[in-house]
Structure 1
Amino acid sequence: MQYKQDNLEISTNLNQEGGRKTTFSPFSLLKSNWYYLPLTICLMLGLVACGFKSPINNQANNSDSSRQDSNLTFFDVTLEQADEVGRPVWRVKAKQAEYTKEKQIGEAQSPYGELYQDGKVVYQVKAEKADIEQDGKQLFLKGKIVATDPANGIILRGNELEWRPQEDLLIVRNQINGSHKQLQAVAQEARVKTREQRMEFSGGVVATSADPQIKMRTEHLIWQIKAETLVSDRLIQIDRYKNNQISDRGKGNSAEVNLKTKIATLANNAQVESLNPLVQITSKSLTWNMNGETVTTNSPVRVFHKAENVTVTANQGEMKIAQKIVYLIGKVNAIGQRRQTLNAQKMTWYLDKKLLEAQGNVAYQQVDPPVNFKGETAVGNLQTENIVVKGGGSGNRVVTEIIPNVRD
């Protein structure tokens, strides 16, 4: 059967369950609105079925009539929907579909569909089995769904799909698995804006990238496909890997990751932690260059070395992860485990050597024994209290060395 009305076209072979194959003339349905099509089919099939009743089995057949009228089988069914100017918005084919009066199309076997935006295919959809519902404005499929973006090579797998062409919105939900050469992601739901080339993951999002090799965990992640950026406005954790092992870890209440430049910007309680050595850098905002292995900020920053129990704060800073060096500028204040402090305008911290180099208005103070020195430069190990302070001014240069007391 082939029928076209109000921008919707249906092509199918019909078979009433338990009865014989029946064919209808299209002109009898021309005045029917699409929303009344299931009722029309049911009535017509009921009339045809009555024509084949046997007088002997008439009473028995009456008991099955309601079941037969609301349970039909479609073969080689095609659903097509067009917009107001005649462009297709979806086309779905199925080898077989079971119909009930509660749904326009019920359970479909091996459905395959194409979703259109502005007359062009934006997603191809297939499943082994799915429930299909549509009302002329949106299409709903439920089952093991696979949706493919042929232009960008994105594949979305889930158990429910909803297409709202008037809203330019594709929703795939219920255990989402998305794959692309640039990104892999699992979530509870994915919302795609096809014109904007924007995909929004929500609910237990775990996204991984091969280049750079990172894994992101958050509750909400927006993928701007053409711009090649990932944006999260929720708490996010980013693990960076080397040789399949975590080397660095970043956290923040929001973040933007540029997959092209391999740079992540963490904001609102931003933190990056190097695991070797175990050093943590925190600030209001951090720029993390993953390939360059640097972390920079122009905001007040705090650096904590866990093994040495040394904390350094400054107005801004940079950490070179591979070289294990930290540069700090502006009101630098280093504090050791025994409350010894070293203040300066600039400081270079060699993490491997456990060495601090300070410049500009240097002031060193320790509690036991009580010592207080000032100068222009200083170098030494704050934790062991081995510090050399150099001070100078027009002609006079003073060098002071402080040697710690020997403790049992």
Structure 2
Amino acid sequence: MVLIFKRTILSILIFTFLSACQSENKTAKKIQKDTAATEIEGSLVFNNVTLNQADEKGSPVWQVKAKKATYIKDKKIANIEQPTGDLFQDGKLVLRVSADNGEVHEDGEKILLKGQIVATDTRNGAVLKGDELEWFPKQDLLWVRNNLKGNHPQLQVTGNEGKYFTRQEQIELQGNVVAIAKDPDLQMKTEHFIWQIKENKAIGDKRLQMERYKDKIVTDRVESDLSEYNLKTKIATLKKNIQLTSIEPPVLIAGNAALWDVKNQTVLSTQPVKIIHQKEQLVITGNEGRVDLAKRVANLTGGVQGIGTRNQSQLYATQMRWDISTQNIDASGNVIYKQLNPPLNVTGATARGKLQDQSVVVNSGSGSRVVTEIIP
């Protein structure tokens, strides 16, 4: 038996049936026979029912099949049991849903499903699960609440609730959001998260923490106010108050703009960046920088400054290459080296050495000489 919801008007079949019941004419008897409906205390009960809605052109908008449907006349609500449904866009099937029970409200303007919700996007394979779902067909919107879980070859997500905009193929999750990506293993945690399935992007518009894993062990941990992770290229675009902590090598990278290549373990910043080696008590800053965590090498350019906080030795240059494993620094361009004990100030074209033990050799360039100032 089929009940049709068209635009904002409840099924012509149901309304005809209701008006016919009041007059008890021949039409009422015919419809009651065709639909096999039972009227109980002001409600109509249908078994093995199909509800659907079409647009002005007759194209399907949605269709729901249920084992049982009870239409409450005064509330204009149809309670449905064991529903399975299809959602269409432009006449094409895009989503399939199922639940334990549900309600069709306002002549099909809203559908509420409860219990063991499963919604599958037939275009991209994304599967959403939860305890409660509100379906707004005209808005192309699914609102999943309570224990939201999303699964896709790209990403697995959980959160308190989420809205799925089916036309854009975009999910917005809120509350205790955890997202896990593969190859390499990456876990993201935040309070608000946008997953653009079609564009292969995961976006954090609030402070977000990322953890990179290898063999179930954390290798890198990142926090930033804004982030965008490309699930295809494996590159994270980070902005504002960035803190990247590498376990090995043990360095902290801070700045306000960076590209983190998660797979290749490189960090590129075109804005001022600071690198801290806490164990060696060394801090290096520059206007731009690139850190290769896999090769353990950092290259900085523009107003570069290296400070050995243990002995307050300082090295200034236009460019600097830091071998994190050996702690050797190669500097070039307007080099200035300073130390406090013994007091010393040296300028030259290039420098090489270690700031931690003040073993720095400054060299002159072609046609110039090293200038050494010994401070009494």
Instruction: Confirm or deny a common fold (TM above 0.5).
Output: yes
Q: What is the DSSP-based 3-state SS (H/G/I as helix, E as strand, rest coil) of the residue aligned with 2:143? A: strand
**C-alpha separation between the residues in 1 aligned to 2:208 and 2:240?**
11
Give the corresponding residue for 1:199: 171
Matches within 5 A, 1:285-364: 285-337=257-309, 338-364=311-337
Aligned to 1:121: 93
1:131 aligned to 2:106?
no
Q: Distance in 1 between matches of 2:77 and 2:257?
A: 53
Q: Could you report, residue by residue, the CA deviation over 1:130-159 in whole angstroms, capped at 9, with x for unpaired residues?
A: 222322322221222100011111100012
Residue in structure 2 matched with residue 55 of structure 1 by the alignment: none
Residue 329 of structure 2 aligns with an amino acid whose one-letter code is L
- Count of paired positions: 356
d(CA) in 2 for partners of 1:185 and 1:321? 28
TM-score (norm. length: structure 1)? 0.80
The CA distance in 1 between the partners of 2:5 and 2:153, in whole Å, is 42
Q: CA deviation at 1:237?
A: 1.0
Contact persistence 2:4–2:51 (CA under 8 A): no
Native 8 Å contact 2:102 2:111 kept in 1: no
1:365 has 2:338 as partner: yes
Shift of 1:241: 1.2
- Give the percent of matched residue pairs that are identical in Structure 1 and Structure 2: 41
Q: Is the 8 A contact 1:207 1:216 kept in 2?
A: yes
- For 1:94, the equivalent position in structure 2 comes to 66
Q: Encode CA deviations 1:325-345: one digit per residue, 9 max, x unaligned.
A: 000111111111232111111
Counterpart CA distance in 2 for 1:153 and 1:9 is: 32
Q: Which runs of 5+ in 2 are unaligned?
A: 29-38
2:241, 2:256 within 8 Å by CA — same for their partners in 1? Answer: yes
Contact kept? 1:200, 1:220, Cα under 8 Å: yes
Output the CA distance in 2 between the equivalents of 1:371 and 1:41: 104
Higher Cα radius of gyration? 1
AA in 1 matched with 2:150? G
Contact in 2 for aligned 1:182/1:211 (Cα 8 Å)? no
- Which residue matches 1:382? 355
SS of 1:166's partner is helix
The CA deviation at 1:271 is 2.5
- State the one-letter code of the partner of 2:284: V
**Are 1:329 and 1:345, in contact at CA under 8 Å, matched by a contact in 2?**
yes
Q: 1:80 offset after TM fit, Å?
A: 1.2
Residue in 1 that maps onto 2:31? none
> Shift of the alpha carbon at 1:321?
0.6
Contact in 1 for aligned 2:4/2:53 (Cα 8 Å): no
* Superposed CA RMSD: 2.8
CA distance in 1, matches of 2:91, 2:10: 16
Number of the residue aligned with 1:219: 191
2:201 partner amino acid? T
TM-score by length of 2: 0.86
How far 1:300 sits from its partner (Å)? Answer: 0.8
User: Closer, same or farther in 2 for the Cα pair 1:29/1:132, shift >3 Å?
Assistant: closer
* Unaligned residue ranges in structure 1 (runs of 5+): 12-25, 49-66, 403-408
Residue in structure 2 matching 1:181, options 134, 153, 157:
153
| Residue aligned with 1:105, SS | strand
Counterpart Cα distance in 1 of 2:23 and 2:354: 92
- State the distance in 2 between where 1:254 and 1:271 align: 12
In structure 1, the residue matched to 2:56 is 84
Residue number in structure 1 paired with 2:180: 208
Residues 147-201 of structure 1 deviation map (CA, whole Å, 9 limit, x = unaligned): 0011111100012212222222222222100000111000122222222222222
Matches of 2:5 and 2:161, distance apart in 1: 34
SS of alignment partner, residue 250 of structure 1 = strand
